Structure 1
Amino acid sequence: MFVVAVSASIIASQAMISGTFSIIQQSLSLGCFPRVKVVHTSDKYEGQVYVPEINYLLMLACVGVTLGFKNTTQIGNAYGIAV
Structure 2
Amino acid sequence: MADTYKVLTKDNEVKNIEDVAVMRADEKYNDSELLSLSILGNRCKKLTARISEAEERIVEYKDYLEDYASYVGPVRHEAGKVKLRKV
CA radius of gyration, larger in = 2
TM-score by length of 1: 0.36
Higher strand share: 2
The two structures have a TM-score, normalised by structure 2, of 0.35
